Amino acid sequence: MTTLRATALFVGRPNVGKSSLFNTVTGAQARVGNFPGITVDVLEATVRIEGQGELTLVDLPGVYSLARAETEQSEEQITSNFIDQSLRESKDRAVVLQVLDGTQLSLSLQLTRELAARLAGVGRLGLVINQADELTREGRTLDTEALAQELGIPVLLVSARDALARDQVIHFAFKIADHSLVSPLPEALDTEALARRVLRDTAALSDTTQRARTRTERIDRWVLHPWLGPLLFVSVLAVLFAAVFLVADPTTTLIDACNKRLGAWLTPRLGGGFFASFIADGLLGGAGTVLAFLPQIVVLTLVLELLDASGYLTRGVFLVDRAMRKVGLGGMSLVPLLTAHACAVPAIRSTRILRDPRERLITLLVLPLMTCSARLPTYALLISTFFAHRSPWIRSLLFLALYAAGWVAGVLAAAALRKTVVRGRPLPLLLEMPAYRAPERSFVRKATQRAVKSFLRDVGTTIVVASAALWLLLNVPMPGAAMAPSDAPANVQRVQRSVAASMGRALEPITRPLGFDWRINVGLMGSFGARELMVGTLGVIYGLEDVDDNTTPLRAQLRQARDPQGRPRYDGRMALALMAFFVVACQCMSTVAALRRETGGWRWPLFVLGYTYSLGYLLALCVYQIATWLHVS
Amino acid sequence: MSLDELTLAVPMVIDSIATDASIEARLYALGVRVGESVEVLRRAPLGGAVHVRFASGLELAMDAAIAACVTVRPRVVPVYVGTE
């Protein structure tokens, strides 16, 4: 017997339970499909059924309509293109399975009309009505035969929470594959009246419906309370932020410790030379950076999936939207922007919750300006070195000002971007508020697993490559760079002779108006690996060990450093300028790698590098000159 | 009267929707139709948006600017005179 092959595309409105039905049907087999040029994850799975053949299932993004496909990369566009493509490619028998919410049938039937029109005479369509259990609970029955007859489209009633749904849906898909082509629905068909005709209320209806409705209503009374509501939403986000922040630190410490041990074990076994050092510091260091992000990605994805699947996220957005619009962004942007204060890398992934592609792009482009935790060691070093003699109030104010500067820069950049590179009016708030539903554990777990996998594959590799390249830059001697013999340790000599040091010296004429000498320039290059590496790189340049644990010797060195004329090499002006540069410049290869993943190319990450570095330079220049004028020392 | 001025929890019927084409299309896609019954459940803090519920069971968070483009009228309650 020949194996039959068929492809079933899952299409449906958001919040009808399409993805959880897909999860029930495909189980562990689902993986992110390899569809080039798409930044939204489209899941794919292949199941084999004895005697039936092979069925490939594709879970397309949720859409309200096929017609509204005005922007590229919108869910509507992706879904629409997939359907057209499946119609063109005739090697597999392609069927479209529309997933409908039985409890809101008339709404879903609008999409049925569009699908039937699109597929008329060329494709096959089946309706899978979900929430059978919910209907029963509400005391309603659905006459699937009458519905199928009136529409001329086969209908299946299932519940995504029921394990039996798997076989039912698969057999249904094969049945549709052999079914005749779909015809358009009659113009005169009133879908609302049809929904009323096929949904029958059993005796206890009004009572139970009322109860189901009041559950969401009851929760909303508290959750959407005029002032308790926003307080709750901001608290939830604060807890999320704290969780991301809290898991980051111990992981980094642990991975650093493991790396140190592994490096110490590996170095003598690899001969202890330059190559061993490259493996131990360059490659292992990069791999460590990647691993250190994983707990943050897990926490953030897990919490956001739970918030989204439960129906709470939209409510939070409803509450804070106005406040965010005042600064030129939408309510949904608050989640990634807040998370970016812990780390921009998981925050970049979390922008997937934004449905407006323009809003999402703007948020992605300004995220790197938020004051992430990796900036803090540098701020702390500079403030404690050059402002130690000032009162604690001034020092704390300086810290606060740095945080505020991140937000101000973000808001201004968003406004400027909207007028230049990302033109177009922001979409006003218009979101469905689904009834509260308990998120399915396996669905959330799988989404988190996918986030980790995609981070390792798409972002991790870029980080490792960039980290290796950066190590070479800081350690490979510049050809022809002769140095006076000194008694400095080998790694210090290596950095002083490195390509990076030569580049740092070459850049001095440009950076001198900011107060940066070649050492600071090399520190900036080193901190492109991760901002917190600034302190360590400066430590190596000054021949100090383990400056991350104790910055006292480094602070003393920075204060005592003199230029050939005997004047202090650095002062408060340089510290302020360097901090200003740090506020704005996207000094983080991991952010760049994550941006590449989420925007699907190098164009936007390069744009971010370009605009944040030029802006950082200008800002640092202004700060240095103003500080000189104000006699800051 | 427009949807954003509506008293809370008073069901009305959508009379007209007049905003720009893309938003009208989006409202249509979401399932909002002229003639449908609608009520405002609450307003967001700072007056930015309204939470509305339609007869179909659909609930939307809607920017006040969009709600201002949706006009509503009272539901006509049939009055029977005499006996059948």
| Between B63 and A249, residue with greater pLDDT | B63
- To the nearest whole Å, the CA of B54 is away from the closest chain A CA by 11
pLDDT band at A97 (very low <50, low <70, confident <90, very high): very high
| Domain presence at residue B81 | no
Residues of A in contact with B22 (CB under 8 A): 68, 70
Average pLDDT of the residues in A587-602: 92
Average pLDDT of the residues in B5-13: 86
Please list, residue by residue across B7-26, b when 16 or more beta carbons sit within 10 angstroms of its beta carbon and e when fewer do: eeeeebebeebebeeebeeb
Residue type, A344: A
Alpha helices (H) along A513-602: 518-526, 533-541, 552-560, 572-584, 589-599
The structure tokens 């402002």 sit at A387
Average pLDDT of the residues in A143-172: 91
Between β-strands A124-130 and A93-101, what pairing exists: parallel, antiparallel or unpaired?
parallel
CA-nearest of A517, A516, A499 to A582 is A516
Is 80 exceeded by the pLDDT of residue A71?
no
CA dihedral sign, ordered A263, A266, A272, A274: negative
Average pLDDT of the residues in B1-21: 88
Predicted local confidence at residue A585, as pLDDT: 96
| Domain presence at residue B70 | yes
| Domain presence at residue B82 | no
Give the count of domains, chain B: 1
Residue type, A447: A
Is 90 exceeded by the pLDDT of residue A210?
no
Least confident of A64-73, A246-255, A593-602: A64-73
| Domain presence at residue B18 | yes
| Domain presence at residue B65 | yes
CB A262 within 8 A of CB A285: no
Question: What does the angle CA A228 – CA A296 – CA A223 come to, to the nearest 5 degrees?
Answer: 15
Domain that holds residue B67: 3-74
pLDDT (tens digit per residue) in A380-417: 999 999 998 888 899 999 999 999 999 999 999 999 99
Do residue B31 and residue A106 have CB atoms under 8 angstroms apart?
yes
Is 50 exceeded by the pLDDT of residue A37?
yes
Both tokens of A288, joined, read 């460590």
Residues of B in contact with A318 (CB under 8 A): 44, 49, 51, 61
Average pLDDT of the residues in A433-445: 86
Predicted local confidence at residue A587, as pLDDT: 92
Average pLDDT of the residues in A94-108: 90
Q: What is the mean pLDDT of chain A?
A: 87
pLDDT band at A454 (very low <50, low <70, confident <90, very high): confident
Residues facing residue A45 across a β-bridge: A57
pLDDT band at A305 (very low <50, low <70, confident <90, very high): confident
Residues of B in contact with A314 (CB under 8 A): 61
CA dihedral sign, ordered A474, A479, A481, A487: positive
**What whole-number distance in Å separates Cα of residue A600 and Cα of residue A350?**
15
CB A148 within 8 A of CB A155: yes
Residue A232 DSSP class? H
Mutate to test the interface with B, among A101, A430, A431, A436 (most CBs of B within 10 A): A430
CA dihedral B15, B21, B26, B32 (to 10 degrees): 10
Q: Does CATH number 3.40.430.10 belong to domain A5-203?
A: no
pLDDT (tens digit per residue) in B29-44: 888 989 889 999 999 9
- Domain extents for chain A? 5-203
21-50 of B, contacting A, C-beta below 8 A: 22-23, 25-31, 41-42, 44-49
CB A77 within 8 A of CB A65: no
pLDDT (tens digit per residue) in A464-483: 988 899 889 988 888 876 66
pLDDT band at A205 (very low <50, low <70, confident <90, very high): very low
Residue type, A117: A
Query: Backbone phi, then psi, for A583, in 5-degree steps?
Result: -60, -40
SS (H, E, C) chain B: CEHHHCCCCCCEEEEEECCCHHHHHHHHHHCCCCCCEEEEEEECHHHCEEEEEECCCCEEEEEHHHHCCEEEEECCCCCCCCCC
